[in-house]
């Protein structure tokens, strides 16, 4: 009989590519992960992983078992949801990981809404970018991730995750007040090819949006200044340090005295925000009201 907890460990190793990283995500020791993998190989009668210089990869037998693992773990999530519904599930804690603007735009309003509509549900919020929050969901460190689509992100049909689209918003060009394009009604990105750029660090989903938009305009941005805090990005632009693309909602309430904000000419780069939960958990009586509150907040 294959133990479900060992399947969870197998998926973590497949996701993180090393035993050490998987162990850290699961709050286990590397030796405990290795022991569980060995036990799983004994249960199945197949070698499931191979260790190499670049980490761990699944064998063909491991890949077969992983495809069933995603379905089994999703079904277990559904079983937990039904059992929770059977026992009413009226009270409990749901942990939500979200990037900072997402917290302000949808998570905080959802928390306020739930305080009135579902007072038994306690929300714990953690600040995390999408590339970090999605693995946190898979590793059961949080229940819900509010994340941004990015290159390399799990697709909407990923068998491990259920996606709930929330909102999409454009990026606006932010240039110093003395910039040559400050008086333009719209800013063509190609005209910024030779400028110094300010933007998020690689790994931040918004970094991918900025770089891809510039690539589509025919150039690679010279990112001399990096910050994941858009207040810092705007402050640097105000100081004349460079130009930037900033999500429109992130500009709300900022001091924009030293910059000019203009829409991008043509098709504006866009970040698409969604909520994600482990597949099968979307109907859990604690999680479903939170997803609905997030969706309602996004529509306001």
CB 185 within 8 A of CB 262: yes
- Across the range 163-178, mean pLDDT stands at 95
Q: What is the pTM of this model?
A: 0.70
- Neighbouring CB atoms inside 10 A of 119's CB total 10
The closest of 165, 181, 155 to 295, measured between CA atoms, is 165
Q: What is the pLDDT of residue 90?
A: 66
For 204-224, the pLDDT digits (tens) are: 888 988 999 999 999 999 999
Q: What crossing angle do the helices spanning 4-16 and 30-44 adopt, rounded to 10°?
A: 120
For 232-284, the pLDDT digits (tens) are: 999 999 999 999 999 998 998 898 999 999 999 988 899 899 999 999 999 88
Q: Is residue 91 scored above 80 in pLDDT?
A: no
- Residue with the larger pLDDT of the pair 38 and 183: 183
Q: Is residue 89 scored above 70 in pLDDT?
A: no
Q: What is the pLDDT of residue 38?
A: 86
The closest of 167, 155, 165, 140 to 284, measured between CA atoms, is 140
Q: What is the pLDDT of residue 92?
A: 82
The closest of 254, 257, 161, 169 to 206, measured between CA atoms, is 169
Q: What is the pLDDT of residue 240?
A: 96
- Residue with the larger pLDDT of the pair 43 and 108: 108
CB 63 within 8 A of CB 13: no
Q: Up-side HSE of residue 119: CA atoms within 13 Å toward CB?
A: 1
- Across the range 178-205, mean pLDDT stands at 94
């Amino acid at each position: 009989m294959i133990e479900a907890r060992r399947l969870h460990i197998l998926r973590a190793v497949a996701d993180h590519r090393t035993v050490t990283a998987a162990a850290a995500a699961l709050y286990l020791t590397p030796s405990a992960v290795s022991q569980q993998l060995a036990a799983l190989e004994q249960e199945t009668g197949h070698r499931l992983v191979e260790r190499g210089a670049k980490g761990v990869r699944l064998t063909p037998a491991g890949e077969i078992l992983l495809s069933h693992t995603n379905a089994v773990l999703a079904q277990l999530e559904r079983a937990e949801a039904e059992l929770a519904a059977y026992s009413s599930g009226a009270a409990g804690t749901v942990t939500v990981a979200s990037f900072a603007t997402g917290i302000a735009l949808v998570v905080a309003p959802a928390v306020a809404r739930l305080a009135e509509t579902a007072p038994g549900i306690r929300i714990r919020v953690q600040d995390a970018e999408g590339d970090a929050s999605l693995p946190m969901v898979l590793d059961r460190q949080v229940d819900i991730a509010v994340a941004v689509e990015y290159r390399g992100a799990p697709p909407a049909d990923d068998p491990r995750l259920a996606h709930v689209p929330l909102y999409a918003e454009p990026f606006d060009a932010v240039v110093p007040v003395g910039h040559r394009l400050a008086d333009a009604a719209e800013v063509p990105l190609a005209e910024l090819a030779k400028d110094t750029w300010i933007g998020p660090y690689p790994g931040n989903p918004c970094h991918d949006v900025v770089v891809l938009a510039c690539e589509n305009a025919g150039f690679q941005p010279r990112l001399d200044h990096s910050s994941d805090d858009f207040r810092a990005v705007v402050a640097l632009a105000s100081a004349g340090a460079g130009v930037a693309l900033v999500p429109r909602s992130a500009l709300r309430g900022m001091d924009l005295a030293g910059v000019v904000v203009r829409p991008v000419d043509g098709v504006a780069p866009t970040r698409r925000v969604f909520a994600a939960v482990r597949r099968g958990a979307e109907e859990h009586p604690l999680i479903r009201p939170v997803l609905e509150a997030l969706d309602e907040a996004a529509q306001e």
